[in-house]
Structure 1
Amino acid sequence: MRLGVRQAQLARVVGVSAMAVTQWERGRSSPPGSTARPS
């Protein structure tokens, strides 16, 4: 899914590092349940 936001912007909104977002996108890690929000 593409939202048109940069990794740094997403990281700031959800309160994680940009590196964490990069790792999520590459499948190296998953966001913790507390970070995921229902749509």
Structure 2
Amino acid sequence: MNTIRSICVYCGSSPGRDVTYAKAGHLLGRSIAKSG
């Protein structure tokens, strides 16, 4: 089985007005980091 060595998540070019996306991105990053 192949091992994933890197991941790219497009986050947009500006923070925007809806903090929901920033919170979701933060949670995704923490989950990926925790998984190793």
Q: Which protein has greater RCO, CA pairs closer than 8 Å, 6+ apart?
A: 2
The normalised TM-score by structure 1 is: 0.31
TM-score (norm 2): 0.33
